[in-house]
Structure formats: C-alpha cells, structure tokens
Amino acid sequence: MSALLEVSGVSVSFDGFRAINNLSFSIGPAELRAVIGPNGAGKTTFMDIVTGKTRPDQGEILWGDRSRSLLKLNEAQIARAGIGRKFQRPTVFEDQSVADNLTLALKANRNPFAVLGWRPSNASEARVVELAAELGLADQIDRKAGELSHGQKQWLEIGMLLAQEPRLLLVDEPAAGMTLAEREQTTALLCRLAQTRAVVVVEHDMDFVRRLNCKVTVLHQGSVLAEGSLDRVTRNPDVIDVYLGR
Ligand SMILES: Nc1ncnc2c1ncn2[C@@H]1O[C@H](COP(=O)(O)OP(=O)(O)OP(=O)(O)O)[C@@H](O)[C@H]1O
C-alpha cells in the first residue's frame, strides 16, 4: 500500500530550538493512527507543518497519488487538496441548527465562483441528512448547535470537515471533556471514518487510545521514538523512560 502522506526528514526550529527534529512519518489512504507523546513532544507543531501553518526548515512532505509536494502549497491549498484539521475546541455556529451548520460547510466546499448564487439543492439536503446520520445526530438535525452537548458539538464539527470530503483528517484530543458514552461513540465514529480515509488522532488519554485499537506513533523531542501497537510501544523501555521522566 503506498502512502497517502509521506513526511521525510522534516525539521523546524523556533529561535534556535528544534521543535521538530528529522521527523519521518507516513500514513496510508485508509488508516487510523494515534499520535501520542509527552507535553512539548512536537505533536501540535507536526500538525501545523502538515496543514501548512508552519514551514519546515528542511525535509519533504509528499501527498496523494501523484506524490505532490505539500511544501509548495499554502494553508488554503492544502485544505482544498484534502487535509482537514479538527482543533480541540469545537467551533460551530451556535445559533444555527445542526442542518444549517452542515449546509454551510457543504457550501464552503464549492469554489469561490460556484458559491455565488449557490442554493441548497435536493442533493445537498440529502447529503446533510446522510452526514447527520453518520455522526449520530439524525435526531438532533433541527436543534440549534448551541443546545448540543460538548460531545455532540465535536461530532458536528467533524461532520463539517467531512462535508469538505478530506482524504486525511487530523483530530486534536477529541476525547477531552467527553462523557464515557460520548467517548465510546467517538471511538466508533473515528474507526468508521478511517475505513475510507486516513485519520490521525493526537491524544493524551491512553484509555481512549487503547479503544482506538490502531497503530500508535510516539513522538519525543520532535522525532518518532517508537511506533506499533499501544501494547508494544508502552513496553518499549525508551517510551517508559520518557513518560516516567527518568
Ligand atoms: N511558535 C513557537 N515558538 C517557540 N517555541 C515553540 C513554538 N511552537 C512550539 N514551540 C515549542 O516547540 C516544542 C513542541 O511544541 P508542541 O506544541 O508542538 O508540543 P506538543 O507535543 O503539542 O505539546 P502538548 O502536548 O503540551 O500540546 C515545545 O517545546 C514548544 O514550547
């Protein structure tokens, strides 16, 4: 299986401090991956680099079937190329309904000229219903987003990203602040999504990572320290040292 995203030998420094140090990472087109690591390991910077927010000082990032260099693209072009990012705090339009939020996201998926004069069509309404069902929000579709629980807002925002049909979804700490039932639903959602696209989940909560039941990449000091199943990486003495701070 060839990679969808291939990060090779990437480094970035801030005022002489190497936040990302010769990092290599790759993910396939339909794969779920958890990225873990202690505070300051470089997880956020890694996502910033992949989404074009931060430019690396060296290295290469190749994307898609034609191995296009992401380093030549700006943030908006990278998003349009199919990389979606979910930040930790949900940012939905609280005064709009679930359906309206999803409709707006579908609209945002059109090119700037197509958006002029865009009206919801039967096809887009059907897609909104389909997305709501996929998110487990079918019975909430007419509710204002502001009335949803924290977990439901997170799913709605994931749905708004799905409206853009990303091939890679980067998700930052999805389980934070969720109830146990919401976490279980989130696990199921992420696993389902990863059947047809790449999903990278950055997470501190090891119980949640265990439930994802996927390959884990451990970052430390801006590099990959270990990779494999959660059981395997948590038995790795280097990983134990880093987490226990020895
Ligand atoms: N813009 C910046 N300027 C200076 N230093 C930065 C900047 N961004 C990140 N860093 C430093 O780079 C290192 C990696 O930070 P990063 O936020 O990527 O880690 P992280 O793994 O996401 O941490 P956490 O789990 O605490 O969110 C840290 O030491 C951080 O202080």
Locate tokens 């884990």: which residue?
A: 216
**126-153 burial by CB neighbour count: b if 16+ within 10 A, else e?**
ebbeebbebbbbeebbeebbeebeebbb
Residue from 92, 82, 15, 95 nearest 52 by CA: 82
Candidate of 45, 57, 200 to mutate for ligand 1, largest count of ligand atoms within 8 Å of Cβ: 45
Residue 116: pLDDT band with limits 50, 70, 90:
low
pLDDT for 43 equals 96
Cα 39 to averaged position of ligand 1 atoms, centre (Å):
8
Cα 50 to averaged position of ligand 1 atoms, centre (Å):
15
Kindly report the number of other CB atoms within 10 A of residue 95's CB atom. 9
**Nearest CA owner, ligand 1 atom 16:** 42
Indicate which atom in ligand 1 lies nearest the CA of residue 54: 1
Least confidently predicted of 121-125, 176-180, 217-221, 234-238: 121-125
Q: Which percentage of the chain shows pLDDT scores above 70?
A: 93
Q: Tens digit of pLDDT for each residue in 88-106?
A: 877 899 999 999 999 999 8
Task: Give me the helices (H) in the chain, please.
Answer: 43-50, 75-81, 98-108, 112-115, 122-135, 150-162, 180-193, 206-212, 230-235, 237-244
**36-73 burial by CB neighbour count: b if 16+ within 10 A, else e?**
bbbeebbbbbbbbbbbbebebeebebbbbeeeeebbeb
- Does residue 117 surpass a pLDDT of 80? no
Cα 18 to averaged position of ligand 1 atoms, centre (Å):
10
Residue from 88, 76, 73 nearest 174 by CA: 88
State the pTM of this model.
0.92
Task: Tell me the C-alpha to C-alpha distance, in Å, between residue 117 and each of 107, 112, 114, 160, 205.
Answer: 11, 10, 7, 21, 45
- What is the token pair recorded at 197? 């696209």
pLDDT for 90 equals 75
The chain-wide mean pLDDT, for the chain, equals: 92
pLDDT for 201 equals 97
- Beta strands 198-202; 32-36: pairing state: parallel
Q: What are phi and psi of 245, to 5 degrees?
A: 70, 30
Looking at residue 43, what DSSP letter applies? H
Q: Tens digit of pLDDT for each residue in 138-168?
A: 999 999 999 999 999 999 999 999 999 999 9
Per the CB < 8 A criterion, the answer to whether 19 and 45 are in contact is yes
Cα 14 to averaged position of ligand 1 atoms, centre (Å):
9
- Does residue 20 surpass a pLDDT of 70? yes
Residue 170: pLDDT band with limits 50, 70, 90:
very high
Which residue segment(s) compose the domain that 107 sits in? Answer: 5-244
Q: What is the largest CA-CA distance in the chain?
A: 61
Q: 81 exposed, middle or buried (CB, 10 Å; 0-12, 13-18, 19+)?
A: middle
**Number of domains the chain is built from:** 1
Residue from 31, 49, 65 nearest 219 by CA: 49
What is the ipTM, given to two decimal places?
0.94
Task: Tell me the C-alpha to C-alpha distance, in Å, between residue 132 and each of 55, 102, 141, 179, 195.
Answer: 35, 8, 7, 20, 18
- Does residue 2 surpass a pLDDT of 90? no
Q: What is the CATH number of the domain that holds 36?
A: 3.40.50.300
Amino acid present at 119: R
